C-alpha cells in the first residue's frame, strides 16, 4: 500500500524554474543544468523501482517515498521506506551507469565510465546513517525493538557492481533492482515474529506523514544569484515567452497570442520557491509586471492565501500547500 506517493522533488521544480528565469547567456547556467541532471537521474532511478514495489502484497507492505524527518536538530531523508509488521526496510536508490566499486577501506564509491574514474560518497555509509537516525526517531516516538534493515539498490540493471576481495558482507547491503523482491523475501524469512500490530502500524504511518517536511532550498543563495538576475513576468504556458501582457482580465502572449486566465499562478509559484514565501501587493505588481494595485490584490485574494499586516503593509503568505495541490 502506497502511504506516501512519490512526487517530483521540489529541488527539481526549483532548478527548472530558475533556468526558465535566468538569462540564456548567464555563466551559472551550466552548473545549474548539471545539478538538475543529477537530481533528474536520481528521480528516474527511484521511478525504475515502481514495478518491483507494485508486486508486493498491498495489505502487508506500507510504502513511503521520499520521507524527510527531523531527528534532534538535523533532518534525514529516506528514498524509500517499507513498513511491515515484522521489520522495517530503508532503501537508498542509486542510478549510476558504468562500473561501481564499493571501496570500504576509504568509504567511497568509485564509478568508472568511458575510461574515466569518478568518486562519490559511499551509499552504504549513507544508508547506515539513515538507519541509525530512523531507529533513534522511532525511539523518540515510542516505537522500539522493531528490526530496521537497510539496502542500497542500483536501479540501472546494466551497471556492473564490484566489491573488495573477501568483503562478501557487502553483497547483503547492495543489489540491482531486478533482485529487490528476492531481497525482500529474504527479510521476510529472516524476521518471522510479529513486532507491531496492524493498528500500531497505521498509527505510526500517520505520525510519519505528519512529521514529514518538504525542503525549500535557497538556490539563489547557493549560486549567488540576486533577485535582479531573475527574469520577471508571467510565462506563457504555450511557448514559454516572458512576459505575457494583462488585458481584459486575461494574460495574452505577445509571441504566440495564447491567452490564459490563470497563467499568473505559475509565476507566483516561481516567486514562492525562488524568492520568498511572502509577497506584498507592490512585490506582486513588480514580479508580474502589473500596473494596477486592484488587479494584483484581486489575483492574490483569489488564491485564498493567509495574510498578515494591514492596508499597504499587507503580506500574503504563500504556503506550499496553497498553490501546490
Q: Please give the full DSSP string across 38-104, using - where no structure is assigned.
A: HHHHHHHHHHTTHHHHHTS-TTT-EEEEEEEEEETTEEEEEEEEEE-SS-EEEEEEE---SEEEEET
* High-pLDDT (> 70) share of the chain, %: 98
Whether 20 has a pLDDT exceeding 70, the answer reads yes
pLDDT in tens, 256-299: 999 999 999 999 999 998 999 899 999 999 999 999 999 999 99
**Mean pLDDT, rounded, of the chain:** 94
- Sign of the alpha-carbon dihedral angle for 233, 325, 11, 180: negative
Grid coordinates of 232: 520577471
Note the residue count of the chain. 325
Question: What region, left, alpha or beta, does residue 78 occupy, with left being phi > 0 and alpha being psi -120 to 50 degrees?
Answer: beta
Q: How far apart are CA 282 and CA 289, in angstroms?
A: 10
Residue with cell 564509478: 111
Residue with cell 515510542: 142
- Sign of the alpha-carbon dihedral angle for 242, 246, 251, 257: negative
What one-character DSSP code corresponds to residue 256? T
pLDDT in tens, 34-83: 999 999 999 999 999 999 999 999 999 999 999 999 999 999 999 999 99
- Average the pLDDT over each of 121-135, 156-170, 229-243 and give the range with the smallest value: 156-170
Give me the pLDDT at residue 23, please.
95
Whether 137 has a pLDDT exceeding 50, the answer reads yes
Residue 300 in contact with residue 262, Cβ under 8 Å?
Answer: no
pLDDT in tens, 200-256: 999 999 999 999 998 888 999 999 999 999 999 999 999 999 999 999 999 999 999
* DSSP-derived secondary structure for 126-182: HHHHHHHHHHHHHHHTT--S--EEEEEEE--TT-EEE--TT-GGGGGTEEEGGGHHH
Residues 6+ apart with CB under 8 A from 325: none
* High-pLDDT (> 90) share of the chain, %: 88
What one-character DSSP code corresponds to residue 254? T
151 forms beta bridges with 91
- Specify the pTM: 0.89
The percent helix, strand, coil of the chain (3-state, each to 5) is 40, 25, 35
Whether 325 has a pLDDT exceeding 50, the answer reads no
Cα angle: 288, vertex 19, 295; to 5 degrees:
10
Q: How far apart are CA 287 and CA 268, in angstroms?
A: 8
Model confidence at 178, pLDDT cuts 50, 70, 90, reads very high
Amino acid at each position: 500500500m502506497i502511504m506516501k506517493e512519490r512526487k517530483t522533488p521540489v529541488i527539481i521544480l526549483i532548478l527548472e524554474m530558475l533556468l526558465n528565469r535566468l538569462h540564456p547567456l548567464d555563466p551559472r547556467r551550466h552548473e545549474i543544468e548539471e545539478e538538475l541532471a543529477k537530481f533528474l537521474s536520481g528521480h528516474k532511478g527511484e521511478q525504475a523501482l515502481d514495478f518491483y514495489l507494485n508486486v508486493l502484497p498491498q495489505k502487508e507492505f506500507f510504502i513511503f517515498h521520499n520521507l524527510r524527518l527531523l531527528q534532534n536538530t538535523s533532518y534525514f531523508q529516506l528514498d524509500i521506506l517499507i513498513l511491515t509488521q515484522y521489520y522495517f526496510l530503508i532503501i537508498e536508490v542509486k542510478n549510476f551507469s558504468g562500473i561501481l566499486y564499493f571501496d570500504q577501506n576509504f568509504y567511497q564509491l568509485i564509478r568508472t565510465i568511458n575510461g574515466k574514474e569518478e568518486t562519490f560518497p559511499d551509499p552504504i555509509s549513507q544508508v547506515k546513517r539513515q538507519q541509525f537516525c530512523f531507529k533513534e526517531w522511532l525511539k523518540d516516538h515510542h516505537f522500539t525493538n522493531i528490526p530496521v534493515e537497510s539496502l542500497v539498490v542500483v536501479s540501472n540493471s546494466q551497471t556492473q557492481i564490484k566489491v573488495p576481495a573477501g568483503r562478501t558482507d557487502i553483497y547483503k547491503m547492495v543489489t540491482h533492482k531486478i533482485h529487490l523482491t528476492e531481497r525482500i523475501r529474504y527479510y521476510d524469512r529472516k524476521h518471522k515474529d510479529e513486532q507491531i500490530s496492524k493498528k500500531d502500524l497505521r498509527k505510526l504511518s500517520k505520525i510519519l506523514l505528519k512529521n514529514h517536511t518538504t525542503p525549500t532550498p535557497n538556490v539563489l543563495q547557493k549560486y549567488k544569484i540576486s533577485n535582479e538576475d531573475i527574469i520577471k513576468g508571467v510565462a506563457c504556458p504555450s511557448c514559454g515567452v516572458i512576459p505575457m501582457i494583462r488585458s481584459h482580465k486575461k494574460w495574452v502572449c505577445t509571441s504566440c497570442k495564447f491567452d490564459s486566465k490563470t497563467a499568473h499562478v505559475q509565476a507566483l509559484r516561481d516567486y514562492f520557491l525562488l524568492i520568498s514565501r511572502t509577497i506584498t501587493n507592490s512585490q506582486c505588481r513588480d514580479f508580474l509586471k502589473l500596473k494596477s494595485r486592484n488587479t494584483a490584490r484581486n489575483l492574490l485574494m483569489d488564491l485564498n492565501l493567509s495574510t498578515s499586516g494591514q492596508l499597504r503593509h499587507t503580506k500574503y503568505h504563500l504556503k506550499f500547500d496553497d498553490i501546490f495541490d
